[in-house]
């Protein structure tokens, strides 16, 4: 049963333009008479299934995924139920269209493809009146806000207001992958300016044509935003997405203890990485605490994954210092060593007493990692020499080139499998095709955050969680890894298949909800059947009677 919406039915004159209520050609004859729609629609009454079939016909006529993206966003603007019915019917097909990798091109072309506003658009010039502006949103029962500055988008860098599709797409995945009701979601772009001069000089750029605010100005602005959002939308969870690395880490640590927040780039990426590592280590019959891990990339994603892996290692018995010692990072200036004076507060715990080097192959030789993780956005960084050096000291190296879009991947699965004679365990940030090496077919995993954040969102929504922390993300990781079958592992798969995404995410949500209840962090009483609680909050894309 679809959860009831709290909004009131719109007037007849606006009904066909309201995506939450519009059924298009599926309005029954009785509804058309009652609502004053007679004569405004073609005579035949379609079923939802017929409308879905028509959408597929339209999509097949499009020449590119960007054209399909534009069509689907228009559909969402017209008929939300039909939009989600299409997506939820086949998420493996449609997630790559409405999100990564197609959304990268949508962001680059945002000024050209902009049709109508979605969500809210705040700016640094609204400081002092953010509560008033947020109050312009027509409903108050909002449970999740996804907010971005556009400061670091999918390897594209600072694209400012052109990053507005990111929170829109992220929240659409909450619904498409885990059934979080869409009327509880609000995407926001916080326009703090942009360092991208080309955008500022482009007359079609839709954001502020101004340089980016200072860190102090951003902090003051976001302090006001956090307070205002919690006053206007009580119980709100703030999902930070694609902020510049230094801003992301600073704001995350600034608010994580006082507000209900999470940062998907930091925590979601870390969680899905741990999920893949869990499966890979189960294949190897080894424990996480016994691994040596080298990161290529030491920004917000690299630090976030490192911190959560260190916490998971402590859960297996290591001390904090022992866990940090097992993790080494490498960035654009080379290994993070104790002699460097350019490390920030979050990088310093992982600095090592090693010889400085800017050569990744030399770093692999020195560290001898069993796990190599790429979050550098440097395409091709994992060369044959790097992977070969790793294979010298590790029979089954775990190699995760996680950067996206595709051209930014540190290596391809084909390279990793070929250079290790098929022994590597591989997951990437985007989906690559199957690979055959030495007569064996491999299906490389996609370490995509959409396995994690929608399920965690559903768990938090259903339990009214009072806090979101790393333990919940680790629970989500384990809930995800536990769904990979032995036959899938034999093909190199480290994540569950995407075709049954909703069922997969509901099981992950149950694992997270149990963690929330076990730790006393729920705002509702624990039921006898946690699975039933989760299921009762799942949005179903079906038309409601106008009398509901």
| For range 160-171, the mean pLDDT | 93
CA distance 242 to 239: 10
Determine the pLDDT at residue 154.
Answer: 67
Among the listed residues 541, 290, 295, the one whose alpha carbon sits nearest the alpha carbon of residue 403: 295
Respond yes or no: is residue 170 known to be catalytic: yes
Residue 474 structure tokens: 């680790």
CATH class of segment(s) 270-448: alpha beta
pLDDT tens for residues 44-74?
A: 999 999 999 999 999 999 999 999 999 999 9
Res 126: pLDDT: 98
Q: Which residue has the tokens 């009214």?
A: 464
So where are the chain's domains?
Answer: 48-259, 270-448, 451-485+496-536
Per the annotation, the verdict on 464 as an active-site residue is: no
CA–chain centroid gap for 400, Å, is 17
Which of 99, 174, 417, 461 is catalytic? The answer is 99
Record the tokens describing residue 413, joined without a space: 């699965």
pLDDT digits (tens, 9 = 90+) for 406-439: 888 999 999 999 999 999 999 998 889 999 998 8
Among 236, 453, 537, which residue's Cα sits nearest to residue 527? 537
Dist CA 325 CA 354 (whole Å): 12
pLDDT, tens only, 348-369: 999 999 999 999 999 999 999 9
**Mean pLDDT taken over the chain:** 93
Alpha-helix runs per DSSP H in 233-265 = 245-255
Domains 48-259 and 270-448 share a fold: yes
What is the per-residue pLDDT across 272-288, written as a single tens digit (0 to 9) for each?
Answer: 999 999 999 999 999 99
- Please report the pLDDT score of residue 405 as a whole number: 77
Give me the mean pLDDT over the 447-461 stretch. 95
Output DSSP code: residue 151. S
Residue 343 is predicted with a pLDDT of 94
Contact 379, 409 (CB under 8 A): yes
With a pLDDT cut of 70, the percent of the chain lying above it is: 97
Q: Of the listed 170, 244, 256, 467, which one is catalytic?
A: 170
| Count of Cβ atoms closer than 10 Å to residue 523 Cβ | 11
Question: Averaged over 368-388, what is the pLDDT?
Answer: 96
In CATH terms, is domain 48-259 a member of 3.40.50.10380?
A: yes
> Does the pLDDT value for residue 6 go beyond 50?
no
For residue 8, the model assigns a pLDDT of 47
For the cut 80, the answer to whether the pLDDT of residue 378 exceeds it is yes
- Flag whether the pTM goes above 0.75: yes
């Amino acid at each position: 049963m679809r959860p009831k919406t709290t909004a009131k039915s719109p007037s007849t004159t606006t009904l066909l333009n309201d995506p939450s209520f519009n059924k298009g050609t599926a309005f029954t004859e009785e509804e058309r008479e009652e609502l004053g729609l007679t004569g405004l629609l073609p005579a035949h009454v379609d079923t939802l299934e017929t409308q879905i079939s028509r959408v597929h016909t339209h999509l097949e006529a499009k020449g590119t995924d960007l054209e399909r993206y534009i069509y689907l966003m228009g559909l969402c603007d017209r008929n939300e139920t039909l939009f989600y019915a299409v997506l939820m019917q086949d998420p493996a097909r449609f997630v790559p269209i409405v999100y990564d990798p197609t959304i990268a091109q949508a962001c680059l072309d945002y000024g050209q493809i902009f049709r109508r506003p979605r969500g809210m658009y705040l700016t640094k010039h609204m400081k002092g009146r953010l509560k008033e502006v947020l109050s312009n949103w027509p409903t108050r029962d909002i449970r999740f806000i996804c907010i971005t500055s556009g400061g670091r988008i999918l390897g594209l860098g600072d694209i400012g207001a052109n990053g507005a599709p990111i929170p829109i797409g992220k929240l659409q995945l909450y619904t498409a992958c885990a059934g979080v009701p869409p009327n509880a979601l609000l995407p926001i772009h916080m326009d703090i300016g942009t360092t991208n001069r080309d955008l500022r000089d482009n007359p079609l750029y839709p954001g502020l044509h101004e340089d980016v605010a200072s860190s102090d100005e951003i902090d003051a602005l976001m302090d006001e935003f956090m307070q205002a959002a919690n006053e206007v939308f009580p119980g709100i969870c703030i999902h930070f997405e694609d902020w510049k690395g230094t801003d992301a880490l600073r704001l995350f640590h600034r608010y994580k203890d006082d507000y209900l927040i999470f940062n998907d780039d930091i925590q979601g990426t870390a969680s899905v990485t741990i999920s893949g590592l869990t499966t890979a280590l189960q294949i190897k019959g080894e424990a996480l605490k016994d691994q040596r891990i080298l990161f290529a990339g030491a920004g917000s994603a690299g630090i976030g994954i490192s911190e959560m892996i260190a916490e998971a290692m402590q859960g297996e018995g290591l001390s904090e210092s022992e866990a940090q010692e097992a993790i080494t990072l490498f960035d654009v200036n080379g290994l993070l060593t104790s002699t460097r004076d350019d490390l920030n507060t979050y990088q310093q715990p992982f600095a090592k007493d090693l010889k400085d080097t800017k050569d990744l192959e030399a770093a692999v030789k020195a560290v001898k990692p069993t796990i190599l993780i790429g979050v550098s956005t440097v395409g091709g960084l994992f060369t044959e020499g790097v992977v070969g050096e790793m294979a010298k000291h590790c029979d089954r190296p775990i190699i995760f080139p996680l950067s996206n879009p595709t051209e930014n991947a540190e290596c391809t699965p084909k390279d990793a499998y070929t250079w290790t004679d098929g022994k590597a365990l591989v997951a990437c940030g985007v989906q690559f095709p199957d690979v055959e090496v030495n007569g064996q077919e491999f299906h490389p995993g996609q370490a995509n955050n959409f396995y994690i954040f929608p399920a965690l969102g559903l768990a938090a929504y259903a339990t009214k969680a009072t806090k979101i922390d790393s333990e919940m993300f680790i629970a989500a990781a384990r809930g995800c890894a536990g769904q990979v079958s032995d036959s899938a592992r034999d093909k190199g798969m480290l994540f569950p298949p995407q075709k049954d995404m909703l069922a997969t995410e509901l099981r992950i949500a149950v694992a997270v909800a149990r963690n929330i209840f076990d730790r006393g962090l729920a705002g509702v009483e624990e039921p006898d059947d946690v699975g039933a609680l989760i299921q009762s909050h799942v949005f179903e894309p079906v038309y409601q009677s106008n009398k509901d």
